[in-house]
Structure 1
Amino acid sequence: MAGWHCAYLVHGDDHGRIAERRASLRAKAEAESGVGGLELLEGDASSPEAAAAALNAMTFATGRRFIVVDGVQEWKDKDVTAHLVPALKDPPPETTIAFFGREDGRKKVPAALEKAVKAAGGVVGHEQQRKAKDLPRWAIGEAQRLGIELESSAAQALVAQVGDRQQRLLRELEKLALEHGPGARLGAEEVEAVAAPSAERQVWGFVDALVARNHPAALRAFLDLREQGEALPRLIPLMARRIREVLQIALRLEAGESPAQVKASMKGSPWMVDRRIKEARASDADALRTALEALAALELDTRGQSALDEETSAVRVIARIAA
């Protein structure tokens, strides 16, 4: 395979994307040189001294040699300067070394390593997670790259439904592109229909119906979830969290704030905030407080503090909340 550089450094706080790039490089390396042409340095075996030794080691292998080094966020500048910088100044021919660093707030890849990779003519890739407010715009751009058009409301719905992990968002965009084909223009409804796993969609559909006090829909969704093995300890926190969110908004609206004022002060996608405000306007604070009390009682029932089985207790609570 043509086009290999002598060195790569991939680092940042988007650990999922870094793992994908590592797996991709490894697969391409094994395809070109076989398993014998690939050397892994990870865990205790990963250090600037070990990487330098691997670069300088004599080998009788034919073809390009690959060295993959993990965990470089643990390294120190002084060790990189002492051991690895000299080895990278004159890297051996037909050899590629790739460094991978998964950073967080406390651990960063040494600046000396990035400088050495660049000086050797290598490539440095930064994989940084985007802020939540930037994700809808990013999703629109990725959708265009995949050949589909994502409306603004659809991008906001995608982030609200899938979460802020870019790799999950990208997988969902790829599914949308495959299902709808090139040139498709997608709105929020199309995204909601396929963007999350079916079990997760059912959970949120159940919570939506509960907050909307649609008793038949809520009961039907609950029974479907239980049939597929969904546990009450997972459902109760989801229900309570949504009801608390809507209650806070309802209290602010009752106190005289306008929907625009509420929206301006809330975090999250505008699409999701609009939906919560709509739910709050369709309910009232007393009903929502009653719902939270009922859920607290249901949680106690699931711990064996009721003469009724948890299924019966849940059905009664759903009827009480959605009445």
Structure 2
Amino acid sequence: MATWKPAYLIHGDDHGRISERRAALRARAEAESGAGGLEVIEGDQATPEAVGLALSAMTFAIGRRFIVVGDVERWKQADVETHVVPALANLAPDTTVAFFAREDGRAKVPAALPKAVKKAGGDVVEQATVKARELPKWALAEAQRLGLDMDLSAAQALVAQVGERQQRILRELEKLALENGPGAKLTGEDITDAAADSAEIQVWGLVDALVARDRRTVFKAFLELREQGEAVGRLIPLMARRLREVLAIADRLEAGESPAQVKSSVKGSPWALDRRIKEARATDPDALRRAIETLADLELQTRGMGELSDDTAAIRALGRMAAAH
């Protein structure tokens, strides 16, 4: 059974990691005390006064009581000192409270809260995002923690391969650790060969939807990529490359080559080539050229030459491209 501290504060600007820790804590709490032993206070209900009352309330529940509090980055210092600090100082021995704050800009946890959590015997953990230039060193440290023998050049290759989102880098490291085992020595070449570029794989599905004129899937795939942190500027060349591959095959088929001739001279898995050929035969090469031109215009707009936001410009461009196919 887990050993619980009276209080926890998990805060910082790494919102993805904070969400993961919150989900993990809730799962452990429910496993120990059941759904009835867990109280979640968040959104407009998560005021210092309401939380102070909840911490001070008597309960007749059997077992440990867990209270999970979200959105504390919106609290004010005076309210924390008035309502939360006294409640933490007199916390019941069978109660654990976990505060979560997704900080951003001026939205910060009041200084009184971490002091009160520590004074109550709890833990304060900051989950901060790592600056882009520091990511390889961070990835190297995480690799060592997972038992991988990796040098800095390999860590740099990993960041270049999967992008700058910490959670994606960590998931890739965990996969490499499972596949290679403790103590495995990985070079930059090993990383390039083994680490899948998940964004590129998802872009294939986005391009497939564009070629099929499936506007709904196009927008869904694009929004999913954006939600996982992919920049529009990184997605544009990936989309353009996939469209050019289909266009090259379409041009060859239109010139009279057979699918077998195309497959004999193009690298890639037979299944993937069959799919590209099927797409090329079902589309209009001129429509593909227009789509590539639209992407070129979009790239200019995302480099500060347009009046719209990157997302708005991209959605409009994708809509035109899907309609053109």
Q: TM-score range by the shorter chain?
A: 0.5 to 0.7
1:193 corresponds to: 193
CA distance 1:299–1:67, change in 2 (3 Å):
closer
2:77 corresponds to: 77
2:175 corresponds to: 175
User: Which aligned pairs between 1:156-235 and structure 2 lie closer than 5 A?
Assistant: 156-195=156-195, 196-197=197-198, 199=201, 207=241
- Residue 16 of structure 1 aligns to a residue whose secondary structure is helix
Kindly provide the amino acid, as one letter, of the partner of residue 96 in structure 2.
Answer: T
1:11 corresponds to: 11
- 1:241, distance to aligned residue in structure 2 (A): 5.7
Give the CA RMSD over aligned residues. Answer: 4.0
Could you give the per-residue CA deviations for residues 45-83 of structure 1, whole angstroms, max 9, x where no partner exists?
A: 111111111111111111110000000011111111111
1:98 corresponds to: 98
* Residue 44 of structure 2 is aligned to residue 44 of structure 1: yes
Consecutive unaligned residues of structure 1, counting only runs of 5 or more, are 246-297, 311-323
Whole-angstrom distance in 2 between the partners of 1:235 and 1:104: 37
Residue 33 of structure 2 contacts residue 63 of structure 2 at CA under 8 Å; is this kept in 1? Answer: yes
Kindly provide the amino acid, as one letter, of the partner of residue 199 in structure 1.
Answer: I
1:146 corresponds to: 146
Whole-angstrom distance in 1 between the partners of 2:296 and 2:267: 17
Residue 7 of structure 2 contacts residue 121 of structure 2 at CA under 8 Å; is this kept in 1? Answer: yes
Whole-angstrom distance in 1 between the partners of 2:17 and 2:293: 30
- Residue 97 of structure 2 aligns to a residue whose secondary structure is strand
Residue 29 of structure 1 contacts residue 66 of structure 1 at CA under 8 Å; is this kept in 2? Answer: yes
Residue 143 of structure 1 contacts residue 149 of structure 1 at CA under 8 Å; is this kept in 2? Answer: yes
Residue 294 of structure 2 contacts residue 321 of structure 2 at CA under 8 Å; is this kept in 1? Answer: no
- Residue 104 of structure 1 aligns to a residue whose secondary structure is coil
Whole-angstrom distance in 2 between the partners of 1:101 and 1:148: 32
2:225 corresponds to: none
Whole-angstrom distance in 2 between the partners of 1:101 and 1:171: 23
Whole-angstrom distance in 2 between the partners of 1:240 and 1:142: 37
Residue 13 of structure 1 contacts residue 129 of structure 1 at CA under 8 Å; is this kept in 2? Answer: yes
- 1:206, distance to aligned residue in structure 2 (A): 8.1
- Residue 63 of structure 2 aligns to a residue whose secondary structure is coil
Question: Percent identity over the alignment?
Answer: 54
Q: Please, what TM-score do these two structures have when normalized by structure 2?
A: 0.65
Residue 207 of structure 1 contacts residue 239 of structure 1 at CA under 8 Å; is this kept in 2? Answer: no
Could you give the per-residue CA deviations for residues 198-232 of structure 1, whole angstroms, max 9, x where no partner exists?
A: 61597859849x8xxx9999986797785798x97
- 1:33, distance to aligned residue in structure 2 (A): 0.7
- 1:18, distance to aligned residue in structure 2 (A): 0.6
Whole-angstrom distance in 1 between the partners of 2:83 and 2:318: 58
User: Which aligned pairs between 1:305-320 and structure 2 lie closer than 5 A?
Assistant: none
Whole-angstrom distance in 2 between the partners of 1:60 and 1:133: 52
- 1:180, distance to aligned residue in structure 2 (A): 1.8
Whole-angstrom distance in 1 between the partners of 2:203 and 2:188: 14
Kindly provide the amino acid, as one letter, of the partner of residue 101 in structure 1.
Answer: A
- Residue 115 of structure 1 aligns to a residue whose secondary structure is helix
Residue 137 of structure 1 contacts residue 155 of structure 1 at CA under 8 Å; is this kept in 2? Answer: yes
1:132 corresponds to: 132
1:22 corresponds to: 22
Whole-angstrom distance in 2 between the partners of 1:300 and 1:67: 45
Q: Please, what TM-score do these two structures have when normalized by structure 1?
A: 0.66
Whole-angstrom distance in 2 between the partners of 1:143 and 1:235: 41
- 1:194, distance to aligned residue in structure 2 (A): 3.4
Consecutive unaligned residues of structure 2, counting only runs of 5 or more, are 205-236, 250-261, 280-286, 304-316
Whole-angstrom distance in 1 between the partners of 2:40 and 2:5: 18
Whole-angstrom distance in 1 between the partners of 2:240 and 2:75: 48
Aligned residue pairs, count: 250
- 1:235, distance to aligned residue in structure 2 (A): 10
Whole-angstrom distance in 1 between the partners of 2:101 and 2:278: 40
Could you give the per-residue CA deviations for residues 70-109 of structure 1, whole angstroms, max 9, x where no partner exists?
A: 0001111111111111111111111000000000112111
- Residue 98 of structure 2 aligns to a residue whose secondary structure is strand
Whole-angstrom distance in 1 between the partners of 2:170 and 2:274: 29
- Residue 25 of structure 1 aligns to a residue whose secondary structure is helix
Residue 240 of structure 2 contacts residue 292 of structure 2 at CA under 8 Å; is this kept in 1? Answer: no
Residue 68 of structure 1 contacts residue 98 of structure 1 at CA under 8 Å; is this kept in 2? Answer: yes
Whole-angstrom distance in 1 between the partners of 2:150 and 2:297: 30
Kindly provide the amino acid, as one letter, of the partner of residue 201 in structure 2.
Answer: A
- Residue 109 of structure 2 aligns to a residue whose secondary structure is coil
